[in-house]
């Protein structure tokens, strides 16, 4: 099995993954309690699906009892420029690095299937299941258990040899592979990720209140955002990279090898004025093949209007004014708020 695992690692690297580790399905025994505490405190906000299938989320072995191993893989998407620099262009939008080109779900799943097929050919009679945010799987604790990295004080996964910029994919299998040693915390006394958060979404180190997180607010939250929070969102209209970008471990980040993660020119600091004009057809055309497409035009334009309101650019007032009677109540509310802010 050690020889098989070594060959599997070679195949994973050939497929484009930056790192691989293996753990047992029962390797995260404290995950259920931590998840329950998070949900009981209401910190999941409107993400009701996080409260569903709690037994599966907290115990990967319950998700598929036949599984003997969990293979965790890291997909690198390191940006070519500093994401924090875009925050200074207040009349333009900032889109999270991972969403500036193709949807990672599609790219990572194809690689997982390639590696999985290789494993099935090498171990006849066995079975696999692949996951990329498509099932109640706690990828980050499993990745730490598999030695890929550790969950930092911002609760995201980071690694000494990869920095912050990588996606996670999982292959559950009935093949009994030798597990790797879990990674330990290497954050030390650093609090850079906590200090930079615009909305103070971290009640304490290693804890996140999603209800205050800009990534949650711009992607998952439906309806109007609390005025106190929308004023802190700046020009971030889809996701937020601040806590990732400021991490000192990024000095060891590796370059992305898949050009489909490189930012599309039209999504690098696009003008807010242009984005506010998007109707449903225009939105779908611009974000075809992008993860942004799933939030829909209305939520996206709502976010754009918050950014317009935060811009301080009087010349953008007509763009907001044109949407004060938008059919979507949240868009209309955001437009009125933006006009008032600019005046």
Catalytic residue check, 209: no
Dihedral over Cα of 164, 235, 49, 130: its sign: negative
Among 52, 82, 133, 195, the active-site one is 133
Which spans in 138-267 are helix H?
Answer: 139-145, 192-196, 214-219, 227-230, 242-245
Q: Which two tokens stand for residue 146?
A: 């598999």
Q: Are 16 and 10 in contact (CB under 8 A)?
A: no
**DSSP string of 58-93?**
H-HHHH-TT--EEEEEEEE---SS-GGGGGG-TTB-
CA 177 to CA 281: how far, in whole Å? 48
- In this structure, what DSSP letter does residue 213 have? -
Q: Reduce the DSSP state of residue 95 to 3 states and report it.
A: strand
Q: Are 26 and 59 in contact (CB under 8 A)?
A: yes
Q: How many residues does the chain have?
A: 343
Q: Are 73 and 22 in contact (CB under 8 A)?
A: no
Nearest Cα to Cα of residue 41 among 199, 152, 203: 203
- Alpha carbon 240 to its chain centroid, in Å, reads 9
* Residue numbers annotated as active site: 133
């Amino acid at each position: 099995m050690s020889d098989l695992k070594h060959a599997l690692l070679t195949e994973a690297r050939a497929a484009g993954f930056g790192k691989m580790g293996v753990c047992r399905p029962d390797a995260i025994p404290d995950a259920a309690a931590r998840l329950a505490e998070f949900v009981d405190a209401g910190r999941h906000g409107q993400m009701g699906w996080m409260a569903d299938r709690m037994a599966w989320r907290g115990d990967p072995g319950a998700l598929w009892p036949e599984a003997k191993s969990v293979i965790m893989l890291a997909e690198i998407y390191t940006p070519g420029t500093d994401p924090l620099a875009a925050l200074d262009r207040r009349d333009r939008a900032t889109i999270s690095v991972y969403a500036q080109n193709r949807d990672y779900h599609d790219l990572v799943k194809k690689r997982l299937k390639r590696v999985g097929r290789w494993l099935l050919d090498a171990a006849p009679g066995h079975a696999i299941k692949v996951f990329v945010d498509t099932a109640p799987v706690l990828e980050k604790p499993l990745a730490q258990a598999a030695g890929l990295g550790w969950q930092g004080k911002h609760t995201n996964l980071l690694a000494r040899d990869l920095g912050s910029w990588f996606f996670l994919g999982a292959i559950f299998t009935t093949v009994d592979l030798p597990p790797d040693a879990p990674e330990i915390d290497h954050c030390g006394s650093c609090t850079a990720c906590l200090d930079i958060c615009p909305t103070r979404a971290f009640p304490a180190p290693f804890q996140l209140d999603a209800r205050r997180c800009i990534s949650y607010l711009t992607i998952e939250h439906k309806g109007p955002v609390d005025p106190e929070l929308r004023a802190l969102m700046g020009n971030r209209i889809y996701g937020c990279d601040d806590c990732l970008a400021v991490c000192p471990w990024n000095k060891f980040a590796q370059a992305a090898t898949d050009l489909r993660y490189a930012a599309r020119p039209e999504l690098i600091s696009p003008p807010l004025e242009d984005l506010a004009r998007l109707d449903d057809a225009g939105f779908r055309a611009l974000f075809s093949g992008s993860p942004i497409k799933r939030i829909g035009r209305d939520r996206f334009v709502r976010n754009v209007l918050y950014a317009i309101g935060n811009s301080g650019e009087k010349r953008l007032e007509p763009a907001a004014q044109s949407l004060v009677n938008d059919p979507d109540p949240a868009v209309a509310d955001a437009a009125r708020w933006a006009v008032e802010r600019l005046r």
